Amino acid sequence: MPIETFIWTDHALLRLSQRRLERFDVEEAIRANHEERKANDGRADWFVQAMTPLGVRIEAIYDHPVGNDEATVRIVSAWRVES
């Protein structure tokens, strides 16, 4: 089942502006890399890495599914990966 809905935590929304990230880029990173996700040991179920269309490397942590909803992701945080 494809991911259709994103729920953003307050923490994740705050970090977007602080880290100069766009919601669309994080959501697309999760959609595009969900099949290659890795288990996360911290505050979220999953971890992904991706490259935005502008060449910015980002990482995100998220929960999936949300409850029993396989089409929903809850984004916990995202950040830029500085070289």
For position 62, which CATH number holds? 3.30.2310.20
> What distances in angstroms separate CA 64 from CA 19, 23, 25, 35, 80, one per listed residue?
23, 17, 18, 12, 21
HSE-CB of 56 using CA atoms within 13 angstroms: 15
User: Tokens at residue 54, please?
Assistant: 């502008």
Q: How many domains does the chain have?
A: 1
Alpha helices, DSSP H, located in the chain: 10-18, 23-33
User: What is the Cα–Cα distance from 41 to 65, expressed in whole angstroms?
Assistant: 16
pLDDT at position 1 is 84
Domain ranges, residue 52: 5-80
pLDDT at position 83 is 73
pLDDT per residue as tens digits for the range 6-58: 999 999 999 999 999 999 999 999 999 999 999 999 999 999 999 999 999 99
State pTM to two decimals.
0.95
